[in-house]
Chains A and B, each alone.
Chain A
Amino acid sequence: MLLEAPFTEAKIRALKVGEMVEITGLIYTGRDAVHKYLYDGGKPPIDLTDSIIYHCGPVVVREKDRWVVKAAGPTTSAREEPYQGPLMERFKIRGVIGKGGMGPKTLAACAKVGAVYLHAIGGAAQVLAERVTAVEGVHLFEEFGSPEAIWEFRVERFPVVVTMDSHGRSLHDEVLRASQAALARLG
């Protein structure tokens, strides 16, 4: 199904674990440095209300007068677990794209704020870069360097799977429990 900007609470609350979603609109990259900066009280250079943050350190090159994305797969989200929940609450961030899933603090924040975790396909740097149709800006580039900067990506039909929803469900928890039961049966 298609998830189009604006990413309102109503649209996000309608999403359920296991749904395959394609995102169209503007999303922002942010990884370790950005999360720590915002958590420590840094001022966001863009309005994060109803935004989607992408855990990604892209390869972006300057070609003449524009930025071109060469590779843009997700990075491991678990590192942002201490920061993500509080930032979702503070800024009304509606979605986080990454890989590997996140923990109970983020899951609780998703329910409280009306937000979701969207799992991109790890390693699929080329397919995902192709879905970034334009780079509309970059922030904190000087401070944090290219992979850690906030890039404004215009994306079209960016493929993800909802693995944590705003109703308290986490596919990661469910698969873990099911696999533990399967292992017990194997002996």
Chain B
Amino acid sequence: MTGKILQAQLLELIRRTSSRLPDDVVRVIEKSWRKEQKDSNAKYALKVILDNIAMARENSLPLCQDTGTIICYADLPVWLDEPGFRKAYEQAVLQATKVGYLRQNSVDSLTGKNSGTNLGPGSPVFHLQQTKSRTLTVRTILKGGGCENVGAQYSLPDARLGAGRDLAGVRKCILDAIMQAQGKGCGPGILGVCIGSDRSSGYVASKEEFLRALDDANEHPALAKLEKQIVADANRLGIGPMGFGGATTLLGCKITHRNRLPASYFVSISYMCWAYRRDGFQLSEAGKIIRWLY
């Protein structure tokens, strides 16, 4: 496949990610909307959200004007070199910004100047690895700033929370993060959590959990149970959509674990807003889309 074909397919991936919420997410929002009390602020907020999802999909326009941090995950087959892939993805980002699928969203941290292109040091964010498969797999997440601001990392034991180094302690950290966030992360939200690892890798792993479909099951029984419990507990807090109050505070919770040092026990929590933009595809060597992943 030529760089041009790859770039065009990646542009289509970005367009779809920005304008189309995955079906598994829409289904959970619809279910939540049905559950909320008639004439409540919560039901009203979810109705506006569902209308917005439909409009963005129909008109191919960004779901939210904050098109977020652009995070690219790719499994590169032997026929594709890493610099070549990066260049094609960056060109696709540039084009997507020009045509309005992405907002000009990348600011120099020292000068405050917006690059206007979404390109710059650390933008977009790449997580690339090699694969023995002949197929190229690319996933993209767009994560808005409001929800990124309410992410949190805990180091256990935590005296304030009375949280020890076990799953009961992990649960306390996660519920505390939800309490701190209230409606500020544009809830109802979805949590990605990593238990263990070091500080930076823990956050990376917590965000990778957003690649899972909302209706999948964690293969680890204890974590599967904890995920369900967190969602049930969170939805008893009454924070509700946008923090208006209501039965829907969390749409999902995905938890993974990594080994840790004996001295460390981190719980890294990433919060995703309801505008949970995630998409991905598999491409053949000829540049054909084999299938969409969500």
Contact = CB atoms under 8 A, between A and B. Distances in A.
A70 interface: yes
A61 to B, nearest CB: 7
Given A59-B100, A175-B239, A101 B41 contact: no
A127 B52 contact: yes
A87 interface: no
B233 interface: yes
Contacts of A34: none
Interface stretch (B177-185, B259-267, B281-289): B177-185
Contact-residue size bin, chain A (C-beta under 8 Å from the other chain): 35 or more
B236 interface: yes
Interface of B: 41, 44-45, 48-49, 51-52, 55-56, 59, 61-66, 100, 103, 144, 146, 149, 175, 179, 182-184, 186, 233, 236-240, 242-245, 273-275
Contacts of B237: 179, 182-183, 186
A11 B243 CA distance: 25
A176 B48 contact: no
Contact of A123 (B52, B103, B149, B244): B52
Contact of B61 (A126, A174, A182, A183): A126
Given A183-B175, A186-B233, A161 B244 contact: yes
A127 B48 contact: yes
A175 B144 contact: no
Contacts of B240: 175
Contact of B243 (A18, A175, A186): A175
27 contacts: A57-B65, A71-B62, A73-B66, A75-B66, A76-B146, A76-B184, A99-B186, A100-B183, A101-B243, A121-B45, A122-B64, A124-B52, A125-B65, A126-B56, A126-B59, A126-B61, A126-B63, A127-B52, A161-B44, A161-B242, A161-B244, A171-B244, A171-B245, A175-B183, A175-B238, A176-B182, A182-B238
Contacts of A122: 64, 146, 186, 242, 273
Contacts of B243: 100-101, 171-172, 175
A47 B151 CA distance: 40
Which has the most chain A C-beta neighbours within 10 Å: B238, B242, B274, B275?
B242
A58 B104 CA distance: 12
Contacts of B51: 124, 127
Which has the most chain B C-beta neighbours within 10 Å: A73, A124, A130?
A124
A49 interface: no
Interface string A86-105: 00000000000001110000
A157 B63 CA distance: 20
Contacts of A186: 175, 233, 236-237
Given A58-B65, A124-B49, 6 more contacts: A70-B61, A99-B183, A121-B49, A123-B52, A123-B275, A161-B242
A110 interface: no
A59 B104 CA distance: 10
A32 to B, nearest CB: 11
Given A100-B183, A182-B237, A20 B52 contact: no
A40 to B, nearest CB: 17
A78 interface: yes
Interface in A42-87: 57-59, 61, 70-73, 75-76, 78
Given A59-B103, A73-B65, A161-B44, A127 B186 contact: no
A80 to B, nearest CB: 14
A18 B182 CA distance: 17
Contact of B48 (A71, A124, A182): A124
